[in-house]
């Protein structure tokens, strides 16, 4: 059995029902909208975020879920999908998960409007049901994701990212949404309990490990659908590179910065930068930091009694750093 199927096993019923509810939550009277949202739903990914919501909810409540849990999972997926549609416009990307992106098929104007529509659907789903605590969790996540993206853009211009700033960027850009999934799961069944903050922290730690793993793919030769060195070409400062920059002698440091600033489209030069980072311990350092976040996440999990839900979350934590793409 594949790891993802194994993780999903204790929540199979909930995930099937969630898919039906999620499709309903997207529906509209506008035929074009329905055509596009159906296209999006049919090309869904692994659905890790709703899985976090249901697994956490069931772990903290001895296997119970509520209608609020389904709404929480739908809100997260609506907001997440909205950000992906907008990201593809911002990045001028024509592909998403191996398929054409919404902006590639229907142009940017429609893609931006679809993203806005999904965002408003998510907010209204919470407001219409008085889930204001869930709405607050997700609204904070949206704000932080926007701030993280802008902070990254600002820093990419100057290439002056420290390790501390890097952690802040990935906490906001990536970890905050996984943190929201986990705290939503807890809040949906145990509102205002200590579980909400504990699970937010748990999700944040997994998100940090997840993003460092993504950064490491930029230095791998495996086929993951992302060419090696693409972050360098896009002038993204990731942990392996930041570590090596901080350790390098002045001459090497100047060469690295010059390469990223002025020669980031030169394939040969990018390969040289990748090799330099590998040879100077950048990958080992990033892996050690990723494992620290993983360990901290597992420590929080271990404060909960053993259950099939906790076991699945443990599998999820390990899957995040063992995955091949």
Low-confidence stretches of the chain (pLDDT beneath 50):
223-226
Contacts of 179 (CB under 8 A, 6+ apart): 141, 200, 201, 202, 203, 204, 207
Looking at residue 223, its pLDDT comes to 46
From CA 315, how far away is CA 2, in angstroms rounded? 11
From CA 315, how far away is CA 317, in angstroms rounded? 6
Looking at residue 270, its pLDDT comes to 86
Looking at residue 178, its pLDDT comes to 94
SS3 call for 99 = strand
From CA 276, how far away is CA 91, in angstroms rounded? 27
Residue 56 class from Cβ within 10 Å (0-12 exposed, 13-18 middle, 19+ buried)? Answer: buried
Looking at residue 228, its pLDDT comes to 65
Torsion of CA 218, 98, 26, 22, to 10 degrees: -80
From CA 246, how far away is CA 257, in angstroms rounded? 11
CA triple 293-296-299, angle to 5 deg = 150
By C-alpha distance, which of 124, 170, 110, 118 is closest to 144?
170
SS3 call for 96 = strand
Interior/surface letters 3-21, b for 16+ CB within 10 angstroms, e for the rest = eeeebbebbeebbeebeee
Looking at residue 271, its pLDDT comes to 86
Report residue 141 CA to chain centroid gap.
11
């Amino acid at each position: 059995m594949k790891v993802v199927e194994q993780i999903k096993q204790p929540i199979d019923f909930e995930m099937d029902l969630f898919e039906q509810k999620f499709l309903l939550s997207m529906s509209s009277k506008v035929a074009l909208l329905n055509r596009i949202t159906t296209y999006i739903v049919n090309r869904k990914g692994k659905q890790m975020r709703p899985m976090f919501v249901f697994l956490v909810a069931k772990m903290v409540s001895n296997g119970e879920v509520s209608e609020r849990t389904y709404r929480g999972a739908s809100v997260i997926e609506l907001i997440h999908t909205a950000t992906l549609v907008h990201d593809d416009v911002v990045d001028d990307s024509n592909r998403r998960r191996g398929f054409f992106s919404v902006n590639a098929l229907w142009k940017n104007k429609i893609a931006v409007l679809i993203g806005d529509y999904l965002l408003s659907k998510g907010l209204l789903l919470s407001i219409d049901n008085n889930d204001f605590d869930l709405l607050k969790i997700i609204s904070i996540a949206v704000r932080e994701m926007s701030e993280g993206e802008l902070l990254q853009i600002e820093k990419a211009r100057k290439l002056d990212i420290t390790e501390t700033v890097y952690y802040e960027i990935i906490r906001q850009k990536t970890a905050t949404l996984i943190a929201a999934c986990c705290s939503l799961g807890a809040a949906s069944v145990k509102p205002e309990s200590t579980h909400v903050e504990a699970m937010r922290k748990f999700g944040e730690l997994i998100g940090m490990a997840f993003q460092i793993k993504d950064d490491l793919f930029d230095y791998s030769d495996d086929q993951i659908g992302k060419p090696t060195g693409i972050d360098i070409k896009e002038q993204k400062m990731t942990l392996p590179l930041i570590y090596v920059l901080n350790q390098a002698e002045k001459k090497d440091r100047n060469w690295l910065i010059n390469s990223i600033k002025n020669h980031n489209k030169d394939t040969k030069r990018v390969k040289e930068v990748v090799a330099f980072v590998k040879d100077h311990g950048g990958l080992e350092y990033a892996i050690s930091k990723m494992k620290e976040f993983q360990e901290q996440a597992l420590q929080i999990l271990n404060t909960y009694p053993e259950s099939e839900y906790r076991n699945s979350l443990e599998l999820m934590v390990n899957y995040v750093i063992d995955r091949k793409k």
